[in-house]
Structure 1
Amino acid sequence: MIKILIADDNSFVREGMKIILNTYEDFQVVGTVENGEEAVAFCQTHEPDIALLDIRMPVMNGVEATKLLTERTKTKPLILTTFDDDEYILDAIKNGAKGYLLKNTDPERIRDAIKSVYYGHTIMPDTVMEKLKGNLGSNKDENRPVFDKSLFTERELDIMALIAKGLSNKEISKQLFISEGTVANYITSILGKTSLEHRTQIAIYYLKGHVDS
């Protein structure tokens, strides 16, 4: 059973999401709160598996809450966003967000995304990644290392591109016709060559050419 906290200042969204998620037998919504501060306090006390966070909330927004949840709890933050929220997305990634869901996402895809994050994957819809890519492209710094394709094999580059699109290891293995274990080995190699720590940083590095320290 995956335990979920919903944090959204809109009671209609909050209660609607609770009703939807509780229809799935593998989910249990253990709480609903109105802002990030309440979300952090709840997670420290009740330890849900996933915190579904609206990115824009009073008192403390989803970006700030993500940072504290990552530092203080084992709860995995999953951000709810809209198309005009891309200004917050990079900060949330830096703070440890495990993925993004657009608020108009189909319930079945929300279910799949929550389960993917629970099992250790990062979820980023193509629409979010495209906006993120556009935002990053206009914010370059010549003193930072440039993405160097020569460091990687063609297969590693393929896998990095698919990670940047938000695909899980399972989805990558199906698309490239290789085993999940082989995908994991390639990711380990990529992390070793770049000194990165996780797949979200791989996505940023592939799109941006560097990862902010």
Structure 2
Amino acid sequence: MTARPVRVLLADDHAAIRAGLRLLLDAAPDVEVVGEAADGTAAVTNARALRPDVVLMDLRMPGVDGIEATRTITAEGLAEVLVLTSFDLDEYVDGALRAGAAGFLLKSAEPSALIDAVRRVADGDGVLAPEVTRRLLAAFARGPETAPGTRATAGPAGATADGAPGAPGTDPRLADLTPREVDVLAALGRGLSNQGIAADLFITEATAKTHVSRVLAKLGVSTRMQAAIVARDTGLA
């Protein structure tokens, strides 16, 4: 039985870019472009109507921008969102992660990297452009209060007085997690894919995927990226 192709919705206000992306993605045998949108409002409307697996989202669009559209799409569980933009400014990375984007790539990415990212996001993995990853790791090294996707607070739970992560397991956000789910969250914090988690914990990939879904639900986050930030914030990674 042939696997169903990954269904993609393109959201970009430039028709030429949408045409180029369609040409590129349709050339992949396991990817199908099912629709297009020229602004955030149309992206949400078409995501509701078409129910794609992945929305390839530009951020700077007229009217409702890509970040707000991403927030609505992920909140309603309509699709995974992979941001594709020309801008790698921290404010855009931060906004996209807070809104629930599963990945963030630059438009300068190689075609093969883009197609691979679409597949990975559809499969539940997170993807970050290398340029963004370096800055995100640097922010984590400075402390959780500086990491994109987190909010600075005077005294975060599970942290010491100077803002450093506290002992793993002391943060109330981890209270509902089983020991195995804590292990999975730590693996997410290290950036492991489902396959990597399975190998690391000696479980099947299907079991790893189930654990990841439960971890996201219990933490009240919508993406692996947000879970990874919690892992770092709570001292697990």
TM-score range, shorter chain: 0.7 to 0.9
- Counterpart secondary structure, 1:151: coil
Confirm or deny: 8 A CA contact 1:83 1:102 kept in the other structure.
Answer: yes
Cα shift readout 1:132-180 (whole Å, capped 9, x = no counterpart): 453952774222122334439xx99997676346441214556x58444
Report the equivalent of 1:196.
219
Bigger share in helix: 1
Amino acid across the alignment from 1:151: G
- Counterpart secondary structure, 2:24: helix
Q: Distance in 2 between matches of 1:172 and 1:71?
A: 26
Identity %: 31
Amino acid across the alignment from 2:53: D
Report the equivalent of 2:162.
none
Query: What's the CA shift for 1:92?
Result: 2.3
Report the equivalent of 1:15.
19
Amino acid across the alignment from 1:141: T
Confirm or deny: 8 A CA contact 2:167 2:234 kept in the other structure.
Answer: no
Q: Distance in 2 between matches of 1:65 and 1:86?
A: 19
Structure 2: runs of 5 or more not aligned: 160-164, 171-179
Confirm or deny: 8 A CA contact 1:161 1:206 kept in the other structure.
Answer: yes
Residues 196 and 12 (structure 1), Cα distance of their counterparts in 2 relative to 1, 3 Å cut: same
Residues 18 and 104 (structure 1), Cα distance of their counterparts in 2 relative to 1, 3 Å cut: same
Q: Distance in 2 between matches of 1:44 and 1:140?
A: 34
Give the alignment partner of residue 57 of structure 2, picking from 53, 61, 76: 53
Is 1:148 the counterpart of 2:163? The answer is no
Q: Distance in 1 between matches of 2:116 and 2:203?
A: 21
How many residue pairs get matched? 205
Q: Distance in 2 between matches of 1:6 and 1:120?
A: 19
Q: 1:75-94 maps to which residues of 2 (within 5 A)?
A: 75-94=79-98
TM-score by length of 2: 0.70
Structure 1: runs of 5 or more not aligned: none
Q: 1:21-170 maps to which residues of 2 (within 5 A)?
A: 21-133=25-137, 134=139, 137=146, 140-145=152-157, 146=159, 147-151=165-169, 163-164=188-189, 166-170=191-195
Is 1:184 the counterpart of 2:203? The answer is no
Residues 3 and 118 (structure 1), Cα distance of their counterparts in 2 relative to 1, 3 Å cut: same
Q: Distance in 1 between matches of 2:188 and 2:131?
A: 14
Q: Distance in 1 between matches of 2:188 and 2:130?
A: 11
Confirm or deny: 8 A CA contact 2:188 2:227 kept in the other structure.
Answer: yes
Query: What's the CA shift for 1:114?
Result: 1.0
Question: Once structures 1 and 2 are overlaid, which stretch shifts more, 130-139 or 103-112?
Answer: 130-139
